[in-house]
Amino acid sequence: MESLEETRSTTAPVTPEPPPPARLYPGALIVVEGIDGSGKSTQLYLLKRWLQIGGYRVHFTEWNSSPIVKSATKRGKKERLLTPTTFSLLHAADFADRCERQILPLLYSGYLVLADRYIYTAFARDSARGCEEAWLRNLLSFAPVPDITFYFRTPLDVAVHRILGARPKLKYYEAGMDRGLSVSRSESFRIFQSMIMDNYDRMVERDNFVLMDGTAPVNKLQKQMREIAGQRIDLRRFAPKKTEEVEE
């Protein structure tokens, strides 16, 4: 697996940042993506806490967390009923519910929304399961475009070691066992994550990802996230309003 520096060296010359898409809402959306064990969730949590402590208007949402779809997804996983298409449709329904009830209302209400995984997770994972990317992109075309998508790229061996060291046992679908990649869950997980990483790498330029080195120290990554967020988003719009002093 190539290193982050090798990836950078093979990409096209840096071009000016494209203008942000026209917004119909005053809020902003920050997304983190990456394979399991990339460190993205830790960094988004730290960013969220920093903003919360500062009194900013912020909301956090994560992948596959809608209470409406949760029971169906849980049953499907437990009984191993999920085909690649049904798995993808369940995740799309989960996202649609959260988008309708949480993400869009809060963006229109002027909140800074932080998403731990977004539609790019579906593009990367479901493509690795055999779904057509064009079909996936059409299925989730209603999703608002993020203001920033941080992609934490971590070498496969490092990410897999982090997960295997923290999990007593990999779950069936988590390990990609439904794809018949290997009889060993750990080896199947490694192959599956490699396929997902390849799909993410192909999205870097197309979807304007901000590439982050997942092996960098935690404090350094967090500093970079805050700096980039401050450069691309006017965070003052989400800060608490100062109470004006009443003149005597």
Return the axis-axis angle of helices 218-232 and 40-53, rounded to nearest 10°.
60
Return the axis-axis angle of helices 156-166 and 185-203, rounded to nearest 10°.
130
Tokens of 178: 């439904």
Percent of the chain with pLDDT over 70: 89
Please determine, for residue 1, whether its predicted confidence score (pLDDT) is greater than 80: no
Please determine, for residue 80, whether its predicted confidence score (pLDDT) is greater than 60: yes
Reduced to 3 states (helix: H, G, I; strand: E, B; else coil), residue 29 is strand
Residue 214 to residue 141: CA distance in whole angstroms: 28
For the segment 139-146, the average pLDDT, to the nearest whole number, is 96
Reduced to 3 states (helix: H, G, I; strand: E, B; else coil), residue 188 is helix
Please determine, for residue 9, whether its predicted confidence score (pLDDT) is greater than 50: no
Residue 160 to residue 99: CA distance in whole angstroms: 30
DSSP 179: G
* Residue pair 117/33 in contact by the 8 Å Cβ criterion: yes
Confidence of residue 21 (pLDDT cuts 50, 70, 90): low
Please give the pLDDT value at position 67. Answer: 87
Residue 173 to residue 126: CA distance in whole angstroms: 12
Please give the pLDDT value at position 36. Answer: 94
Please determine, for residue 243, whether its predicted confidence score (pLDDT) is greater than 60: no
Q: For each of the domains in the chain, give its residue range(s) and CATH number, in order of start.
A: 26-228 (3.40.50.300)
For the segment 114-143, the average pLDDT, to the nearest whole number, is 97
Lowest-confidence region among 43-47, 48-52, 61-65? 61-65
Please give the pLDDT value at position 193. Answer: 96
Reduced to 3 states (helix: H, G, I; strand: E, B; else coil), residue 113 is strand
Please determine, for residue 246, whether its predicted confidence score (pLDDT) is greater than 50: no
For the segment 138-150, the average pLDDT, to the nearest whole number, is 97
Q: Alpha-carbon torsion 50, 52, 56, 62, what sign?
A: positive
The larger pLDDT score, comparing residue 12 to residue 219, is at: 219
Closest CA to 171 of 91, 76, 241: 76
Which residue(s) pair with 60 in the sheet? 114
For the stretch 152-210, pLDDT in tens is: 999 999 999 999 988 888 999 999 999 999 999 999 999 999 999 999 999 999 999 99
Percent of the chain with pLDDT over 90: 79
CA angle 41, 44, 46 (to 5 degrees): 110
List all residues 6 or more positions away from 58 whose beta carbon is below 8 Å from its beta carbon: 48, 51, 52, 111, 112, 113, 114, 238
Confidence of residue 10 (pLDDT cuts 50, 70, 90): very low
Tokens of 43: 């960094």
Please give the pLDDT value at position 18. Answer: 52
